[in-house]
Homo-oligomer: A and B are copies of this chain.
Amino acid sequence: MLSEEIMKELSIPNEKKIVLLVMDGVGGLPHKNGLTELEAAKTPNLDKLAEESALGLTHPIGVGITPGSGPSHLAIFGYDPVRYNIGRGVLEALGLDIHLTNKDLAARANFATKDGNGLITDRRAGRIPTEKNQELCARLQEEIKKIDDVEIIIKHGKEHRFVVLFRGEGLHDGLTDADPQKEGSKVKYTEPLVPEAKKSAVIINKFIDRVGEILKNETKANTALLRGIARVPHIPTMNDLFKLKPGAIATYPMYRGLARLVSMDILKTGETIADEIATLKENYSKYDFFYVHVKKTDSYGEDGNFENKVKIIEETDKIIPDILALNPDVLAVTSDHSTPSLLAGHSWHPNPFLLHGRFIRKSPVTRFTEAECLKGSLGIFYSIDAMPLMLASALKLAKYGA
C-alpha cells in the first residue's frame, strides 16, 4: 500500500457499498483424507461465487509469520500492522468489551498467591473459579476507585484473569511487566522503560500494594501480577484515511473492539451467523463498508476440531445468497489468518481471498479453496493491499499522479 498520506489524498467517497466477510482462521492444511477444511466442506454458494470472482491468497503480515488477531485484523482493515502495535493489555480489554479511551493504560492481570515472605507460590492463584474472580474484582473496584488523580477500572475475566484500566492524564506506556514470570520469586513491581512512563509506574505499583492490602486475608488470590501494560495506539479513522462510513458486525467482543480501534460503528447483533446477516440487512442503507466477522471457524481450528470447522464453513456458505441479494458493489470473502485444525492454532499460511464485483478479472476456478485461490487472477499478495483493492473495485480511489 502507498503511504497513509497518499491514500488519504486518493480516496474518494461515493455511494458504492463494500461488504468484507471475514471467516476467521478459515484457511487450513491437508488433514482428514488429505483435504483441508475448505476442501472437505460442501459449499455450493461459495463455489458458484468463486466462478464469478477474482481469487487470490494473502499473507497477513509477512511470509512465514503467524499473526495474532490484532495485527492480522489491522492489516485487512488497511493499516500497517507493524506500525500500529496493539499491546496485550489493550487486546485483553477489547476481549472483555471494555471501551477504551486515549487516556487509558490497560493491563492484563492475574490473581496470584504470595507467601509470608512475599514470594509468589502460584502465578494463577490455583485457577480460582470465575465466580470467585468476579467477587474479588467487585471488592477491589469498591475499595479502589482512584489512585492519586487516576481512575481505576477493573473487569473480571475467566478463572484467575482480569483487566485493569488506569484512566487519567499523563499515563505513558513503556513499562516492564509486574510479574516475576516464575514461581518462587519475589513480587515484582513494574519499572518505567522510558522517563515519560514514570508516573504510570508509580500509580501501577501503588495499585499492586493496595490489592495486597485488601486481599491479605485471602488464602489463594492475595496479590496481582500485571502484564502487557499498554495504551491504545493512536490510529487514524477509516473515514479519515479511506473516506468510508464503516459498520462492524461481530458476535465476539474482541473483534468489535478491533473495529472500534479504527473507528467503525459497532452494530448490535446476536449470537449466530444468521443474526449477523439480519443486522447487515437492517443497516445496509446506513453504511458504505461492512465488516462481518465469523468467529467459530477459528475457534474450532484452535480446538483442532476439523469436523466442526467444516460445519461452520458450511453454515457460512448458506448465508452467501443473502449477502448477494443485497447486491453489494464489492464483496470480499477472506480471513485474517489461517487456523488449520492440524496445528490447532493460528498459522502463517496465506488466506484464501475472493473479490466479487463488476470490475474484476475472473479466475478460472470452480471452488473457494486454498488450492483454487492459487490459480486466481489476484495472485498472492499482502493483506494490507486488500483495502486498496476493495476501494479501487468500488471506484473509491482516484488516479495516482498525472
Contacts and interface: CB of A to CB of B under 8 A. Distances in A.
Given A70-B402, A402-B91, A397 B359 contact: no
B62 A1 contact: yes
Contact of A68 (B1, B29, B400): B400
Contact of A361 (B343, B345, B370, B377): B370
A359 B371 contact: no
Contact of A377 (B10, B85, B374): B374
Nearest to A78: B64
Given A1-B62, A388-B64, A88 B402 contact: yes
A61 B29 contact: no
Interface in A40-87: 57, 61-72, 81-82, 85-87
A304 interface: no
A286 interface: no
B347 A86 contact: no
A391 interface: yes
Contacts of A387: 64
A359 B343 contact: yes
A351 to B, nearest CB: 12
B397 A64 contact: yes
Given A63-B385, A71-B401, A389-B64, A29 B348 contact: no
Interface residue SS majority, chain A: loop
A194 interface: no
A379 B349 CA distance: 12
B86 A388 contact: no
A70 B401 contact: yes
**Chain A interface residue count: which class?**
35 or more
Contacts of A399: 66-68, 345-346
A359 B342 contact: yes
Contacts of A214: none
Contacts of A126: none
Interface string A89-101: 0011000000000
A157 interface: no
Contacts of A65: 2, 10, 388, 392, 397, 400
Interface string A355-392: 00001111010000011001001011110010111111
A176 to B, nearest CB: 15
Nearest to A2: B62
A174 interface: no
Given A371-B364, A377-B374, A86 B401 contact: yes
Given A63-B382, A81-B401, A370-B377, 19 more contacts: A1-B62, A10-B65, A29-B359, A29-B360, A30-B361, A36-B361, A57-B379, A63-B389, A64-B388, A64-B389, A64-B390, A64-B397, A65-B388, A65-B397, A66-B400, A67-B400, A68-B402, A364-B371, A371-B377
14 contacts: A1-B63, A2-B65, A2-B82, A10-B65, A63-B381, A64-B391, A64-B397, A66-B400, A68-B402, A69-B402, A85-B401, A345-B399, A348-B392, A371-B377
Closest 6 CB pairs of A and B: A64-B388, A63-B385, A379-B380, A71-B401, A68-B401, A64-B392
